[in-house]
A and B are shown apart, each in its own frame.
Chain A
């Protein structure tokens, strides 16, 4: 069963703690992405990676970090420097180069109190 998995579905953290969100895909896609979604808003790009060991900042990268050590995995760390971390986080992947279509995982809802 091919697809993108994100875990956990719900995550709760105290303010000041770093937290890492998992994203795995078995679609053999080269490119992976992290988006953030706030209530009533569209999705905004945090980071993306077109190839292993390389990644680029999106529009709202401040307070986040990523790594891409394996083609299948693209974890996102929400650091204590992120001012408003509570949001719905979505991971996506696409074939690269040439693959415009981005396919999304089920998302992780992070609540920081």
Chain B
């Protein structure tokens, strides 16, 4: 199975900050990479698919980049509602796997 490694596992930031989360795949997954946001007690929400395509309705301060094995999610001008846990997931082959998550906390 393809292993997805996210870094950091947690970070502290303040509103208005620019935040970048990294995700590395253990083998080439082309651009079959999605990013999700999850708030406590809630279902995950799809933010980005195809490594860089913004899901409909997601604010443009979220962006994704990368291909192959190295990817990143960037949140420009962090808002209060962005404090959450973020997961990457590959969907290039079965089994699908998620990264371990990155918790974005208020500094």
Task: Tell whether A pairs with B.
Answer: no
- List A residues at the B interface (Cβ < 8 Å): none
